Amino acid sequence: MTGTRMTGTLDLATLRAEFPILAERPYGKPLVYLDNAATTQKPRAVIDALAAYYEHDNSNVHRGAHCLAERATAAFEDAREKVASLINASREEVIWTRGTTEAINLVAHSYGGDTLKPGDEVVISSLEHHANIVPWQQVCARTGATLKVIPLHPSHNGELDLSRLEDIITERTRILALVQVSNALGVINPVAALIARARAVGAKVLLDGAQAISHFPVDVQALDCDFYAFSAHKLFGPTGVGVLYGRKALLEAMPPWQTGGEMIETVTFEASTWNQLPYKFEAGTPHIGGVIAFGAAIDWLNQQDRAAMAAHEADLLHYATEQARAFPGLKIIGDAPTKIAVLSFLLEGSHPNDVGTLLDQQGVAVRTGHHCTMPLMNALGIPGTVRAAFAPYNTRAEVDQLFAALEKVRRFL
């Protein structure tokens, strides 16, 4: 939250030493990595776990009749148990995917494609990533359902306008698919109120937790959602690994989305039957090493003081926001009171891409553009933003470096 000064008790020097990439010097400058909303960096424990799998246990999982397969399978399924514990789910409700995008597509095409019909409605919000827009557009076009959007608040501070919620989430609503935290602005949505409204009309709920999972604990039971999707690479794990949580009864009733490999029970030329959960939705050879390394990421995270991490991130956001408000010509985009540590902004008279390029030449890594939220940017009337997204390994000194670099950019442009 930007309004409260919070300080953590992290040993930043020790924490940063666990992330070898932070010693990089792009263009001979110390790396200031502020692109954490796109992907977090990986601690040594995760890198070592990935290498150890390929060096010692490389094998396919579940069906191999040898020692390597047994070891790989045990580590692979142990990682599933760790995810289940992390989000308070049962192991058969944890489906491995390639990322949040694939997890959402699985729900849209399997559950949505199987249940939606003409006259039904799917509700999303103006803050959605393309990955939680386009799959629903496709399924609605195929089924005859209608896609509706919760608009932005007229203040344009990044919050949603809930004043007409009962007119948007109605008896026709079958699915509410909602981002928990905006990737573009860092705004935390009031998911409890939105889920309560969905429950009042009997709608199912999918939450896109890609940006939430690394910033605060997630309990899918407390959230009362039906589906929850997130990616390992935004939680200090490898790319190419994601998670779909789904309520067991719903997953059992849903048809497979992809077929072949592990999701098969029996096959004849006349018909096939499907494996039990969670394997029913895991076609083909998975990213085994990535899953095992994600298990190591969860182990690493569980060893940290998450409350101290959250307090440190809040302090970084407060500190950066104070500097941003005092910076000539800088406009914060998405200045809502409840946010994760994301500062999205524009510099007067400058295109975001130019700002990002000049920051990069000074060793400061940020994200620029529409952040895969083109409808949001259109609603805000802007082409995109510069986004600085903080993680626990970032420091106040790096915030100072960001604004020192921005001052040089401002003078140059």
Helix (H, G, I), strand (E, B) or coil at 365: strand
CA distance 91 to 101: 21
Within a 10 A sphere around the Cβ of 270, how many other Cβ atoms? Answer: 5
Number of H helices, E strands in the chain: 15, 15
CA distance 8 to 15: 13
Q: Quote the strand ranges of 250-301, DSSP E.
A: 264-267, 272-274
Biggest CA–CA distance in the chain, Å, is 71
Q: Which H or E element spans position 207? A: strand 204-208
CA distance 162 to 165: 5
CA distance 210 to 230: 4
Within a 10 A sphere around the Cβ of 280, how many other Cβ atoms? Answer: 22
CA atoms within 13 Å, Cβ hemisphere of 146:
11
Helix (H, G, I), strand (E, B) or coil at 281: helix
Give the active site residues: 372
Helix (H, G, I), strand (E, B) or coil at 301: helix
Q: Is residue 69 a contact partner of residue 63, using CB atoms and an 8 Å limit?
A: yes
CA distance 81 to 74: 11
Contacts of 323 (CB under 8 A, 6+ apart): 399, 400, 403
Q: Is residue 179 a contact partner of residue 189, using CB atoms and an 8 Å limit?
A: yes
Q: Which H or E element spans position 68? A: helix 67-87
Tell me: cis bond preceding 30? Omega within 30 of 0 counts: no
Distance in angstroms between the alpha carbons of the first and the last residue of the chain:
31
